[in-house]
Amino acid sequence: MKTSRFVCPLDSNRDQNRHMEIKVAVIGFGRMGRFYLKAFQTDPNYRVTYICDPSPESQEKAREMAPEAKVVASEDAIFADPSVQAVALCAFADSRPAQIRRALETGKHVITEKPIADCIEREWEVVKLAEEAEQRGLFCCVNMYLLNSWYHHEMRRIVDSGELGELAIIRICHMTPGLAPGEGHEAEGPSFHDCGMHYVGLARFLAKSEYKTWHAQALRMWSWKDPWWLQVHGTMQNGIVYDVTQGFVYGQLSKDQTHNSYVELIGTQGFCHMTHDFKTAVIDLHGVNVTEHIERPHGGKNVDVLISQMAETILSGKRHPLMPRLRDSAMASEYAWKMLDDARSHEMPAIGTLDELERIRERRRNLKDGYGLLPRHNKNV
Ligand SMILES: NC(=O)c1ccc[n+]([C@@H]2O[C@H](COP(=O)([O-])OP(=O)(O)OC[C@H]3O[C@@H](n4cnc5c(N)ncnc54)[C@H](O)[C@@H]3O)[C@@H](O)[C@H]2O)c1
C-alpha cells in the first residue's frame, strides 16, 4: 500500500514510491488536453487512466502519447468508473456544464479549462454546483493561468511592499497573431472573450477589486462579423483605473511574426512593467527605494502549477489558497461579455476584407509553428 503524501513537483527529494497516485481522466485531447497529459505524466501524484476525444486523430495521438491509458470516444465510461478520482476538462465550453455536473455527481474532483460554460447563466449555475460540492469535500479549479503566473504574483508583492506608493493605474496589452476568426473555439466567443477574459480577470486580480465602470472600443478586423480587437478602459470599485487591449490582429500576414504583451502598474510614486516573449518573463521595477530587473522562465500555461495545487488539495482535503476558483472564471467571463456588449453599442468599424482573412487562414493551415495553432495544423504538439 502506497503512503499518501503530497509531492511538490519542485521537491528534488521526492520518492516516487511513497506517494498516492490520483487517477485522472483527460476529456478533450486537442492542444490543451495534450499539455495536461504531459503535465500529469511528469507529476508523480497522478496517473492518467483515461483519455476521451471523439476525433479519431486525437485518439490515435492519445494512444501514441499514453499507451497506459484507456482511450475512449465517449465520456460515459469515465463517469461510470468509480476508480477515476479527478477529471481534466479540455474540450469546449458548451460541453463543460454537463461534464462538471456528472463529475461532481459521481464523486470526482474537477480541473477545468475556461470558460466554464458557453453562457453566463450556465457559468453561475456551475459555480453554485462547485461551491456546494466543496462542502462535501469535492474540489474544482479552473485554468485562469495568469492568476498562477509567478510574474503577476511578484507584481502584487511589489505593490504590497509600497515601492510604487499607492497603486493608481493598471495597463494591460496582449496582441498576437493568434487564433483567426472562424478557426475554432466558436463556443468561447470572439477573441476578447476567448482570450481576453484572462486579462479581464487579471486586472481584477491586480487591483484586488471588482469592476465599477467600462467603456470599450472594438474593431471588426477583415470585416469579420465579430470584433477581433478590443480596447476597454474604466474604473475599479476601489478607484484604480485600468485599460485592457486584446486582439489576435498583430501582424497576421507579416513575414516574421511577433507579439506585444505587457502589464504595467503605475503608482503615485513608482511603477513596474512586465513583458515576455513566451519563454522568459521580465519585470522592471522603478520603485522609490529599489530599481530592479527580474528575469525568469515564463512558465507557459502553468498547467503544472494548477495540477500541483489540485494534488495538494485532494491529498490534504484542504483547498490550496492560490488555486483559481470557478467563481474567478465566471467573474472574468461575465465582465468580458459586458465589455463586448458595450463595444457593440458604439461605432464599431470594419477594416480589411474577408479575402485577407482567407489568406490568413490558408497561411495558418500550413504553419507548423506559430501562435495559437490548433493541433490539426501543428504536427509538433
Ligand atoms: N487556459 C488557457 O490559457 C487556454 C488556452 C487555450 C485554450 N483554452 C481552452 O481550452 C479548451 C480547448 O482548447 P484547445 O485549444 O485545446 O482546442 P482544440 O481544438 O485543440 O481541442 C479540443 C479537443 O476537444 C475535442 N472535443 C470536442 N468535443 C468533445 C467532447 N464532448 N468530449 C471530448 N472531447 C471533445 C475535440 O475533438 C478536440 O480534439 C477551450 O475551451 C479553450 O478555450 C484555454
Pocket flag, ligand 1, residue 92 (CB < 6 Å): yes
Q: How much is the average pLDDT of 121-149?
A: 98
- pLDDT at 119 (0 to 100): 95
What is the location of CATH 3.40.50.720 in the chain? 22-145
- pLDDT at 376 (0 to 100): 64
Q: How much is the average pLDDT of 144-172?
A: 98
- pLDDT at 14 (0 to 100): 41
Q: How far apart are CA 330 and CA 77, in angstroms?
A: 29
Q: How far apart are CA 225 and CA 230, in angstroms?
A: 14
Q: How much is the average pLDDT of 357-362?
A: 97
Q: Find the helix or strand (DSSP H, E) in which 294 lies.
A: strand 291-297
Give me the helix-helix angle, 31-42 and 56-65, nearest 10°: 20
Q: Which residue's CA is minimally distant from atom 31 of ligand 1? A: 95
Q: How much is the average pLDDT of 120-132?
A: 98
Fold adopted by 146-366: Dihydrodipicolinate Reductase; domain 2 (3.30.360)
Q: How far apart are CA 231 and CA 342, in angstroms?
A: 11
The amino acid that residue 39 corresponds to is A
Q: How far apart are CA 117 and CA 121, in angstroms?
A: 9
Pocket flag, ligand 1, residue 163 (CB < 6 Å): no
Q: Tell me how crowded residue 143 is: count the other CB atoms within 10 A of its CB.
A: 26
Ligand 1 center from residue 157 Cα (angstroms): 33
Ligand 1 center from residue 32 Cα (angstroms): 6
> Quick one: 22-145 is in which CATH superfamily?
NAD(P)-binding Rossmann-like Domain (3.40.50.720)
Q: How far apart are CA 162 and CA 150, in angstroms?
A: 19
Q: How much is the average pLDDT of 130-151?
A: 98
- pLDDT at 19 (0 to 100): 59
**Longest CA span, the chain:** 65
Place of cell 461579455: 337
What is the location of CATH 3.30.360.10 in the chain? 146-366
Pocket flag, ligand 1, residue 192 (CB < 6 Å): no
The two beta strands, 260-267 and 241-247, are unpaired
Nearest atom of ligand 1 to the alpha carbon of 58: 39
Pocket flag, ligand 1, residue 37 (CB < 6 Å): no
Nearest atom of ligand 1 to the alpha carbon of 91: 24
Share of the chain above pLDDT 70, in %: 93
Pocket flag, ligand 1, residue 214 (CB < 6 Å): no
Pocket flag, ligand 1, residue 187 (CB < 6 Å): no
Is the bond leading into 97 cis (omega within 30 degrees of zero)? no
Q: How far apart are CA 169 and CA 243, in angstroms?
A: 8
* 244 contacts: CB under 8 Å, gap ≥ 6: 172, 173, 196, 199, 200, 203, 231, 232, 233
The C-alpha cell at 194 is 476567448
Q: How far apart are CA 82 and CA 106, in angstroms?
A: 7
Task: Give 129-139 pLDDT, tens digit per residue.
Answer: 999 999 999 99
Residue 64 CB burial class (10 angstroms; 0-12, 13-18, ≥19) = exposed
Q: How far apart are CA 86 and CA 94, in angstroms?
A: 20
Pocket flag, ligand 1, residue 183 (CB < 6 Å): no
Pocket flag, ligand 1, residue 31 (CB < 6 Å): yes
Q: Which residue's CA is minimally distant from atom 13 of ligand 1? A: 32
Task: Give 291-327 pLDDT, tens digit per residue.
Answer: 999 999 999 999 999 999 999 999 999 999 999 999 9
Mean pLDDT of the chain: 93
Pocket flag, ligand 1, residue 29 (CB < 6 Å): yes
pTM of the predicted model over 0.85: yes
- pLDDT at 8 (0 to 100): 39
Ligand 1 center from residue 53 Cα (angstroms): 10
Q: How far apart are CA 274 and CA 293, in angstroms?
A: 10
CB half-sphere exposure, 58, CA atoms < 13 A: 24
